[in-house]
């Protein structure tokens, strides 16, 4: 009898220890209660027809910035006045204006683009658009390390608001957006609303974007007629400055980084204009001037999520070797509504000389999170994955080391849920000697 009681006590103790071990060893990612999607938001314009709205800035070649904005009125000049003190605009520049029609039912406002500069690094500039309206300000990127990039694909929901608030709470130098901006999906007023939603952030720091599937907006779906009309009109990027003939793919340099924005929804096969341009662009990279080589695409080449599986595969097969041989450090993708970081990889295998692939498609889309994952196959090269909303931060500390962190939106807080140090491949003895 005493022996049976002892046995029962042992069983209870063992059960308690198993439960205790399970509780304390469970990663936070499993314990975290994944949030449901939140509703779309619409951001109105409160100013006059002449007042600037949807103001955003982007890098436009060495020491230059492009200021873009929209007015309802056609009488506003495409002029930006700017200076380094509030209200004192000692310099001005003029640019161009464009507009577009979409399916006869929508006519955009006047979309102004003005390139300003040369500008000094890490300097606050105060500016006014079209000679009237409120004053804006932005800070130019630094000329030396460290530099910090915020990375997110966004959408336009209450979760996007939350992500933007978290991005804005902690300083950064440049935002990188791997496609899927407004989720307008042909309903053009949503582009205007998106411009107004992001203006408080995109008017203060350069935003560099590439296109996603939600930017295609083919007037005749499946036939891809007149694609990227709104995207190209509203978000011109410095493609001409980088020798590209298309706004859908381009590159730029900023503080020790050469950043290549590729187009997942334009031709990429060997012989295509994008492929030829990429090959030439990579050949020009000087790793002593820009040790960091970073690429953005939209549809991920590596993905263990059940959502959008294989959608980046044709592009991976066409272009992966070029990136591998150039020793690209990091490839960021969007599209999949979840976060995932892979180990260094090439040709579906772990490879110390391949790029780290990171999917950051969780900024706040309206379609909800992609929660189902593969447990076999590429699972072995996936280092961290989680279906939660959030954004990423890449801090280039110096020419050899960087810090990547993923900030999960946890309601009012932004918690670091994944963090890793990254060593530059361009200075790796092992990897550079093999090229």
Q: Of the listed pieces 99-107, 271-279, 332-340, 370-378, which binds Fe ion according to CB under 5 A?
A: 332-340
For Fe ion, the closer of residues 173 and 180 by Cβ is 180
Map the footprint of Fe ion across residues 103-132, applying CB under 5 A.
none
Q: Of the listed pieces 12-20, 107-115, 175-183, 405-413, which binds Fe ion according to CB under 5 A?
A: 175-183
Binding of Fe ion by 178 (CB under 5 A) = no
Binding of Fe ion by 335 (CB under 5 A) = yes
**DSSP letter for each residue of 105-166:** TEE--EEEEEEE----TT-EEEEEETT-S--EEEEPPPSSS-EEEEE----SBHHHHHHHHH
Binding of Fe ion by 363 (CB under 5 A) = no
Q: In Å, how far are 107, 264, 283, 346 from 215, measured between CA atoms?
A: 17, 11, 29, 29
Q: How far is the CB of 262 from Fe ion (least distance, A)?
A: 14
Size of the site for Fe ion (CB under 5 A): 4
Q: How far is the CB of 231 from Fe ion (least distance, A)?
A: 13
Q: Of the listed pieces 3-11, 210-218, 320-328, 352-360, which binds Fe ion according to CB under 5 A?
A: 210-218
Binding of Fe ion by 366 (CB under 5 A) = no
Q: How far is the CB of 133 from Fe ion (least distance, A)?
A: 34
**What does R_g of the chain's alpha carbons equal in angstroms?**
23
Q: Which of 148, 180, 211, 386 binds Fe ion (CB under 5 A)?
A: 180
Binding of Fe ion by 287 (CB under 5 A) = no
Q: How far is the CB of 195 from Fe ion (least distance, A)?
A: 19
Q: By CB neighbour count within 10 A (0-12 exposed, 13-18 middle, 19+ buried), where does 327 fall?
A: buried
Q: Which two tokens stand for residue 34?
A: 């994944």
Pairing of strands 53-59, 356-360: unpaired
For Fe ion, the closer of residues 192 and 215 by Cβ is 215
CA dist 230 and 358 (Å) reads 27
For Fe ion, the closer of residues 229 and 335 by Cβ is 335
Binding of Fe ion by 199 (CB under 5 A) = no
Q: Which two tokens stand for residue 403?
A: 């810090």
Phi-psi region of 117 (alpha: psi -120 to 50; beta: other; left: phi over 0): left
* Closest residue by Cα to residue 78 from 33, 124, 116, 23: 116
113 included as an active-site residue: no
Q: Which of 113, 166, 308, 391 is catalytic?
A: 308
Residues in the chain: 435
For Fe ion, the closer of residues 287 and 335 by Cβ is 335
Q: Which residue bears the tokens 């406002």?
A: 109
Q: How far is the CB of 365 from Fe ion (least distance, A)?
A: 8
Binding of Fe ion by 213 (CB under 5 A) = yes
Binding of Fe ion by 217 (CB under 5 A) = no
Q: How far is the CB of 358 from Fe ion (least distance, A)?
A: 15
Beta bridge partners of 339: 360, 386
Binding of Fe ion by 364 (CB under 5 A) = no
Binding of Fe ion by 362 (CB under 5 A) = no
**41 contacts 160 by C-beta, under 8 angstroms:** yes
Q: Which of 109, 212, 312, 364 binds Fe ion (CB under 5 A)?
A: 212
For Fe ion, the closer of residues 54 and 264 by Cβ is 264
Please count the CA atoms within 13 angstroms of the CA of 391 that sit on its side-chain side: 30
Q: In Å, how far are 44, 75, 95, 128, 289 from 136, measured between CA atoms?
A: 19, 21, 18, 6, 32
* Degrees to nearest 5, angle at CA 85 with 83 and 90: 35
Binding of Fe ion by 368 (CB under 5 A) = no
Q: How far is the CB of 247 from Fe ion (least distance, A)?
A: 18
For Fe ion, the closer of residues 45 and 335 by Cβ is 335
**360 contacts 153 by C-beta, under 8 angstroms:** yes
- The residues that touch Fe ion, with contacts defined as CB under 5 A, are 180, 212-213, 335
Catalytic residues: 308
């Amino acid at each position: 009898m005493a022996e049976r009681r002892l046995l029962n006590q042992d069983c209870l103790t063992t059960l308690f220890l198993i439960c205790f071990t399970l509780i304390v060893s469970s990663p936070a990612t499993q314990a975290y209660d994944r949030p449901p999607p939140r509703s779309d938001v619409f951001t109105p314009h409160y100013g006059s027809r002449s007042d600037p709205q949807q103001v955003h800035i982007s890098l436009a070649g060495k020491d230059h910035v492009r200021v873009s904005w929209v007015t309802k009125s056609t009488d506003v000049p495409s002029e930006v006045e700017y200076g380094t003190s509030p209200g004192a605009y000692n310099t001005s520049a003029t640019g161009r204006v464009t507009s577009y029609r979409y399916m006869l039912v929508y006519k955009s406002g006047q979309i102004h683009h003005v390139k300003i500069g040369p500008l000094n690094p890490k300097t606050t500039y105060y500016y006014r658009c079209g000679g009237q309206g409120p004053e804006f300000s932005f800070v130019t990127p630094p000329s030396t390390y460290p530099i910090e990039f915020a990375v997110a694909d966004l959408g336009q929901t209450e979760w996007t608001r939350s992500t933007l608030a978290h991005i804005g709470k902690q300083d950064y130098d440049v935002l990188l957006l791997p496609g899927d901006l407004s989720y307008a999906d042909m309903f053009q007023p949503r582009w205007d609303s998106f411009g107004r939603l992001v203006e408080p952030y995109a008017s203060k720091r350069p935003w560099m974007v590439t296109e996603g599937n939600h930017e295609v907006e083919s007037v005749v779906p499946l036939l891809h007629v007149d694609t990227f009309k709104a995207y190209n009109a509203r978000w011109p990027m410095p493609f001409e400055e980088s020798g590209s003939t298309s706004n859908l793919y381009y590159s730029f340099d900023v503080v020790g980084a050469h950043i290549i924005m590729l187009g997942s929804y334009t031709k990429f096969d060997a012989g295509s204009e994008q492929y030829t341009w990429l090959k030439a662009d990579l050949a020009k990279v000087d790793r002593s001037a820009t040790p960091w080589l970073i690429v953005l695409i939209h549809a991920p080449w590596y993905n263990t999520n059940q959502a959008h599986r294989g959608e980046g595969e044709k592009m991976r097969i066409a272009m992966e070797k070029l990136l591998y041989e150039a020793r690209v450090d990091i490839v960021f993708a969007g599209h999949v509504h979840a976060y995932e970081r892979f180990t260094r990889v090439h040709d579906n295998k772990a490879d110390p000389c391949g790029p780290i692939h990171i999917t950051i498609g969780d900024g706040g889309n309206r379609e909800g999170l992609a929660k189902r994952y593969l447990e076999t196959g590429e699972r072995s090269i996936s280092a961290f994955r989680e279906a939660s909303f959030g954004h990423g931060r890449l801090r280039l500390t110096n020419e050899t080391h960087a810090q990547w962190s993923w900030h999960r939106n946890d309601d009012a807080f932004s918690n670091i849920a994944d963090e890793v140090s990254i060593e530059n491949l361009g200075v790796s003895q092992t990897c550079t000697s093999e090229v």
